[in-house]
């Protein structure tokens, strides 16, 4: 976004080029979706990325006190907007649609899996019978929600029934965006950044501990990814 970047450049008295400080910054770069390459160049292939708090703090220190107030806003995870994630997934979907190395049947199944439908839903229904939260059983009102999100998964994982839960659309939204998660023993996890009154209205009982039942060993592996990479957490108290 050149216009936004130019605006921010105009606000800063001291500007830095991350590439000039890459020896300091390199150890702090995330292994996945890094905003920079190890040589300090930008990574244009990544559509959305998060700047980890340690990296943000070093950048703030390099720039100086004029951006110190940003450190306050960096202490919590800010959920990525639905529009941004949808745009990201549409770009990936276009890549799948144009990939001639995948059969047409598989391409259609992978694309439909993004919306929790088709072959993926059929495979999830062999493991799951109802929404874990609301108890809704009618498949018309359920979607197959990926534990390891479609946007992060391989094509094989996108169609793996063990990578799914049957959820109502509102619960699917909360799960996919990281506002809720699950422990391996079935305990519901509510993110500390979630708006609890909204969750209550959407069918989540926030007043007591909730256990939704056991998961298969395959589901537990994918839920581990969800807890570590999707579930929104406070970085600091």
Q: Residue ranges of the domains in the chain?
A: 2-73, 82-229
Which of 236, 143, 233, 146 is CA-nearest to residue 192? 233
The whole-number pLDDT of residue 135 equals: 96
118-176 pLDDT, tens digit each: 999 999 999 999 999 999 999 999 999 999 999 999 999 999 999 999 999 999 999 99
Dihedral angle sign, alpha carbons of residues 231, 152, 86, 147: negative
Query: Around Cβ 99, how many Cβ atoms within 10 Å?
Result: 12
Q: Mind giving me the DSSP string for 211-236?
A: B-----HHHHHHHHHHHHHTS--BS-
- Give the torsion through C-alpha atoms of 219, 222, 225, 231, to 10 deg: -60
Q: Is the pLDDT of residue 111 over 70?
A: yes
Q: Are strands 164-167 and 143-146 parallel, antiparallel or unpaired?
A: antiparallel
Rounded alpha-carbon distances, angstroms, from residue 59 to 62, 167, 206, 209, 227:
5, 41, 38, 40, 27
Which among 50-64, 79-93, 123-137, 193-207 has the top mean pLDDT?
123-137
Q: How far apart are CA 109 and CA 162, in angstroms?
A: 16
pLDDT-derived band at 54, boundaries 50, 70, 90: confident
**SS3 of residue 135 by DSSP:** coil
Mean pLDDT of 70-77: 48
pTM of the model as a whole: 0.68
């Amino acid at each position: 976004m050149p216009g936004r970047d130019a605006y921010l450049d105009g606000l800063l008295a001291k500007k830095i080029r991350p590439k000039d400080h890459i020896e300091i910054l390199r150890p702090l770069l995330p292994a996945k979706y890094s905003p920079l390459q190890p040589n300090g160049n930008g990574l244009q292939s990544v559509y959305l990325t998060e700047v980890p708090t340690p990296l943000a703090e070093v950048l703030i220190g390099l720039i100086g006190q004029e951006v110190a107030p940003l450190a306050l806003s960096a202490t919590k995870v800010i959920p990525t907007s639905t529009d941004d994630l949808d745009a990201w997934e549409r770009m990936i979907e276009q890549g799948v649609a144009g990939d001639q190395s995948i059969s047409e049947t598989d391409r259609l199944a992978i694309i439909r899996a993004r919306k929790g439908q088709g072959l993926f839903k059929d495979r999830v229904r062999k493991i799951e019978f109802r929404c874990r939260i609301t108890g809704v059983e009618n498949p018309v009102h359920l979607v197959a929600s990926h534990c390891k999100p479609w946007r992060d998964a391989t094509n094989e994982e996108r169609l793996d029934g063990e990578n799914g839960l049957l959820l109502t659309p509102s619960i699917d939204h909360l799960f996919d965006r990281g506002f809720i998660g699950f422990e391996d023993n079935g305990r519901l996890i509510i993110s500390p950044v979630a708006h609890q009154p909204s969750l209550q209205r959407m069918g989540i009982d926030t007043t007591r501990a909730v256990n939704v039942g056991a998961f298969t060993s395959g589901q537990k592996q994918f839920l581990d990814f969800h807890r570590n990479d999707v579930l929104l957490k406070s970085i600091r108290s």
